[in-house]
Amino acid sequence: MKTNLLLLSFFFSTSIFAACSVSPEPLPNDEDETETPLTDIGSGEINGYKVVWEDKFNDGTLDETNRWSVEVNGNGGGNSELQYYRRENISVGTEPVSGAGCLIITAKKESFSGKTCTSGRLTTQNKMTVKYGKIEARIKLPKTANGLWPAFWMLGADITTYGWPKCGETDILEMGNANGIKNNTQEKYFNGACHWGESWNNGSYPNYAKATTNAYSLQDDFHLYTLIWDETAIKMYLDLDKYPNNTPYYEMAINGEDVAGNPRRYFHKQGFVIFNLAVGGNFPQIWDITKITALAAGDAKMYVDFIKVYQKGATGEELNSKIKTALPSVSAAAKQFEIYPVPANGYLKIKGEATPAIVNIYSMNGQQLISQKNTNQLAVTDLQSGNYTVQIIDINGKSETHTFIKK
């Protein structure tokens, strides 16, 4: 997915994609020990990652105060797309098969403000930006057939200063490309991509896009799309909740020389998240609404069960959000404190060589619930049952985090 600038000529060329006919991981056989994923879980807090920001879309309303901004425009997204993006096409509700609370983006064949169809696009710009971490969303895609272009992607937060492509772009999921239509593999053909460079330069800018023809349909149910981004590389994974040993469907090194044109210059800064469902345009190479077969039988819906941002508290990580987060932005040294009992009921106690200077307890969506100074125990009786994060700061200002369960 491209930002709202000029047409990106690389989409006209089918040779730019490195097509792959192998699934990131074969489907398991009957002897494989795999777990059925639970809604709102994702790939989990493993390998040192902790959730620092999330939206589960469970309360029936979209948080436009602290999390999301809905775009309203009909400028074609810089790719000759056919839709007009409207607020009315964004909602929070229930996916009818699973019953999961979801963000819902609806594409409709209708005339509006000179356009032949409408759809939705929303971003976390100016409300949540992140540098490094694990960012994932569980999405149920519509049948793209011929013409729909759903996407889960990121842009550099400095786009308002430097423009595109200098801001950098990371496409975690795109579906609906013309190659998939041509090969009749629309439900399995998807891509990840990165775009960068000093200027548009009439389409001559650096980019790396890779397409995969998956072994199974990605338009039949929810699937998990995960970006793991650190100082060395950008990697993208499919369905880590079901197949945790999957290899990346996309990987690009970003630790080279810091010079113009090298990825290192463009992918070591904060970015924001975007979800949208485009109709037509340069990616599917369809510019006539009568040829958009995906909308012939009615509206099409893209469901997002949740989005989660995880970080480790490692050097270089950053997160700016209107929702305060529990993890520190400084390096997480060897932990000097222990918390007990876990699960906790009446009191949560802290064991260490010295009494903590500050102890904060946060909900898993980052809301601070308790803050106390110079204490080694906190009353948690009034907390509801569930998972919480504890931030412990010592007298030298060093911070570490723990998680616990309240009975």
Say if 3 falls within a structural domain. no
219 and 255 belong to one structural domain:
yes
Say if 328 falls within a structural domain. no
Is position 174 annotated as part of the catalytic site? yes
Give 289: exposed, middle or buried? Use CB within 10 Å, 0-12, 13-18, 19+: middle
Q: Are 318 and 328 a contacting pair, CB within 8 Å?
A: no
304 and 343 belong to one structural domain:
no
Say if 325 falls within a structural domain. no
290 and 359 belong to one structural domain:
no
Q: What's 108's domain CATH number?
A: 2.60.120.200
229 and 368 belong to one structural domain:
no
368 and 230 belong to one structural domain:
no
- pLDDT value at position 387? 85
Range of the domain at 386: 333-406
HSE-CB for 245 with a 13 A CA cutoff: 8
255 and 119 belong to one structural domain:
yes
15 and 94 belong to one structural domain:
yes
The answer to whether the Cα torsion of 145, 147, 150, 153 is positive or negative is: positive
- Give the residue-averaged pLDDT of 254-274: 96
Say if 213 falls within a structural domain. yes
Q: Letter for the amino acid at 222?
A: F
**Which among 25, 54, 174, 317 is annotated as catalytic?**
174
94 and 158 belong to one structural domain:
yes
Average pLDDT, rounded, for the chain: 87
- pLDDT value at position 236? 98
Please state the three-class secondary structure of the chain as a single string. Answer: CCCCCCCCHHHHCHHHCEEECCCCCCCCCCCCCCCCCCCCCCCCCCCCCEEEEEECCCCCCCCCCCCCEECCECCHHHCCCCEEECHHHEEEEECCCCCCEEEEEEEECCCECCECEEECEEECCCCEEEECEEEEEEEECCCCCCCEEEEEEEEECCHHHHCCCCCCEEEEEEECCHHHHHCCCCCCEEEEEEECCCCCHHHCCCEEEEEEECCCCCCCCCEEEEEEECCCEEEEEECCCCCCCCCCCEEEECCCCCCCCCHHHCCCCCEEEEEEEEECECCCCECCHHHCHHHCCCCEEEEEEEEEEEECCCCCCEEEECCCCCCCCCCCCCCCCEEECCCECCEEEEECCCCCCEEEEEECCCCEEEEEECCCEEECCCCCCEEEEEEEECCCCCEEEEEEEEC
Confidence of residue 386 (pLDDT cuts 50, 70, 90): confident
- Residue 282 in tokens: 């340069």
Number of domains observed in the structure of the chain = 2
275 and 386 belong to one structural domain:
no
Q: Which of 28-37, 186-195, 261-270, 386-395 has the lowest mean pLDDT?
A: 28-37
Tens digits of per-residue pLDDT, 144-192? 999 999 999 999 999 999 999 999 999 999 999 999 999 999 999 999 9
Q: Which of 196-205, 318-327, 386-395 has the lowest mean pLDDT?
A: 318-327
Say if 326 falls within a structural domain. no
Q: What's 365's domain CATH number?
A: 2.60.40.1930
- Give the residue-averaged pLDDT of 79-108: 97
**Which among 71, 136, 169, 317 is annotated as catalytic?**
169
Tens digits of per-residue pLDDT, 267-277? 999 999 999 99
- Give the residue-averaged pLDDT of 369-396: 89
239 and 355 belong to one structural domain:
no
